[in-house]
Amino acid sequence: MTHPFFFTWSAQQNAKPLTLLGGEGAHFDTDEGRFLDLGSLVYQANLGHGHPKMIQALQDQVASLSLTMPSALYPAKTEAAEALLQKAPEGFSKVFFCLGGAEANENALKIARLHTGRYKAIARYRSYHGATMGAVSLTGDWRRTAVEPGIPGVIHVLDLDRGAPTQIPRTLELEENVAAVFLEPIVGANGVLIPPPGYFQEIREACDRAGALLVVDEVLTGFGRTGKFFAHEHEGITPDIITCGKGLTGGYGVLGAVLVHERIAQTFEETVLACGLTQYAHPLGVASAHAAIQVYDEENLVEKAAALEAPFLAGLQALADEFEFARDPRGRGLLGAVDLHLSEEGLAKFKSALRAARIHAFVKGRKQLREDNGALVLAPPLCISEEELSDGFTRISQALRTV
Ligand SMILES: Cc1ncc(COP(=O)(O)O)c(C=O)c1O
């Protein structure tokens, strides 16, 4: 069957779409039946499916105001910004709104350039920062090399690749003109790579010595995913800029955000902030972000993710115990992975078996990871119950037995 639109990241003839019909909690419904969502769709459905408060908030906003222009004022815009800054570390004073994670990184880079007067950026090979040209230039994985040349001035380092220690402090000594270092607090889509203790402190100090800004990309890891509101909170450092998307609205609205520390925000009291977009702080986007932050709080979802870490990691460990080819189980909060030392055919078979078992999760291929193994990456909605999680691991184990 052909469709009148493109499927992303895929040769069109290889796309295997699911027809979505709705959902509830940790499950979503499709034309193939009810799936247990162990991926939060694409890491954004942290609040779960069909959330009544989110639906109501959007309906209320549509009824009151749904058109805007960038200079306009309305309550949802101020409320969302205030709620976000309350979750940010002390000293963060401004929010720049945009439409998603890539745009958040794009605008963070522009803000860093305007603030420092420098143009270069350091990022890791093991990273994904978004699909727009600047964000994909920061990205280290195959999605950058597919569309190069990217923007000038991005330097990639091997940090965390096969356990490599940080090269960032030395790179900052050897380079000049570095405006910012972009890092996911935990590398997400590239296989859940958790930094060793002290990693972020070392980089924070090196950035300070070099006068470069530290931008943490919390698009995937933020909003409770790792058992803290922001994942960099595990590291005991304060970044200069935080980029947000995905869980910011739980997927119910289209929104990205850049949170900026006061010492950088100050620059733009006099310097023109050369950033903008027509749908800046779209009312439906900011209303859903404000409602989402209330839901995270009211339902204690961040604490829930932290409490579920133990059974979640035990489930991953049990897979490694059962299957010789499943190795290095790891995770934090409700973001986890296990490497799968299987052939591409074995990985494809597992993917089909998972779908037949009505489990939604990420099976990373060897080519995607540029490794001689694949990986299973899990990121269930934070509202999942321990029983649902356990049921999920049982079905994953059954699917792995078919390969
Ligand atoms: C860490 C990270 N940054 C940025 C992005 C890009 O976000 P979006 O797809 O909303 O542009 C993603 C998306 O997967 C991501 O995982």
Q: Does ligand 1 lie within 6 Å of residue 393's CB atom?
A: no
Residues 247 and 166 in one domain: yes
Sheet holding 326-332, edge to edge: 326-332, 335-340, 374-378, 362-364
Asked whether residue 7 is assigned to any structural domain, the reply reads no
Question: Which residue, among 387, 322, 395, 384, has the nearest Cα to 353 in the 3D structure?
Answer: 395
Asked whether residue 329 is assigned to any structural domain, the reply reads yes
From the alpha carbon of 102, which atom of ligand 1 is closest?
11
Distance 403 CA to ligand 1 centre (A): 31
Query: In this structure, what CATH number is given to the domain that contains residue 90?
Result: 3.40.640.10
Residue minimizing CA distance to atom 8 of ligand 1: 101
From the alpha carbon of 103, which atom of ligand 1 is closest?
11
* Domain span holding position 358: 12-47+300-400
Residues 65 and 193 in one domain: yes
Listed residues 281, 298, 315: the one ending a domain: 298
Taking the C-alpha atoms of residue 109 and residue 181, their distance in angstroms, rounded to an integer, is 9
Cα 75–Cα 80–Cα 81 angle in degrees, nearest 5: 105
Per-residue pLDDT at 218? 99
Question: Which residue, among 226, 262, 276, has the nearest Cα to 246 in the 3D structure?
Answer: 226
Q: Cβ of 82: how many Cβ atoms within 10 Å?
A: 12
Q: Cβ of 208: how many Cβ atoms within 10 Å?
A: 12
Contact between residue 46 and residue 223 where contact means Cβ atoms under 8 Å apart: yes
Alpha-carbon Rg for the chain in angstroms: 21
Question: Which residue, among 176, 193, 225, has the nearest Cα to 124 in the 3D structure?
Answer: 193
From the alpha carbon of 218, which atom of ligand 1 is closest?
1
Per-residue pLDDT at 1? 80
Where helices occur in 249-333 by DSSP H, the ranges are 262-265, 283-298, 301-322
Residues 144 and 166 in one domain: yes
Per-residue pLDDT at 376? 98
From the alpha carbon of 43, which atom of ligand 1 is closest?
14
Taking the C-alpha atoms of residue 200 and residue 190, their distance in angstroms, rounded to an integer, is 19
Q: Does ligand 1 lie within 6 Å of residue 101's CB atom?
A: yes
Where helices occur in 2-152 by DSSP H, the ranges are 40-43, 52-64, 75-87, 101-116, 133-138, 142-145
| φ/ψ bin of 346: left (φ > 0), alpha (ψ from -120 to 50), beta (otherwise) | alpha
Distance 260 CA to ligand 1 centre (A): 18
Distance 129 CA to ligand 1 centre (A): 5
Distance 108 CA to ligand 1 centre (A): 13
Per-residue pLDDT at 157? 98
Sheet holding 256-261, edge to edge: 92-98, 256-261, 241-244, 213-217, 178-183, 120-124, 154-157
Residues 290 and 328 in one domain: no
Residue carrying the six token digits 């990309």 = 217
Q: Does ligand 1 lie within 6 Å of residue 381's CB atom?
A: no
Choose the residue to mutate in 107, 220, 223, 377 for probing ligand 1, maximizing ligand atoms within 8 Å of C-beta: 220
Residues 154 and 274 in one domain: yes
Q: Cβ of 353: how many Cβ atoms within 10 Å?
A: 19
Residues 103 and 206 in one domain: yes
Distance 101 CA to ligand 1 centre (A): 5
From the alpha carbon of 246, which atom of ligand 1 is closest?
10
Contact between residue 312 and residue 331 where contact means Cβ atoms under 8 Å apart: yes
DSSP state of 185: S
Q: How many domains does the chain have?
A: 2
Contact between residue 110 and residue 275 where contact means Cβ atoms under 8 Å apart: yes
Choose the residue to mutate in 46, 105, 129, 362 for probing ligand 1, maximizing ligand atoms within 8 Å of C-beta: 129
Residues 179 and 269 in one domain: yes
Residue 122, token pair as written in the block = 């350091």
The number of helix segments (H) and strand segments (E) in the chain equals 14, 15
Question: What are the average pLDDT values for consecutive 10-residue runs of the chain, which has 403 residues?
Answer: 94 96 98 97 98 98 98 98 98 98 98 98 98 98 97 98 97 98 97 98 98 98 98 98 98 98 98 98 98 98 98 98 98 98 97 98 95 97 98 98 95
Distance 402 CA to ligand 1 centre (A): 32
DSSP state of 94: E
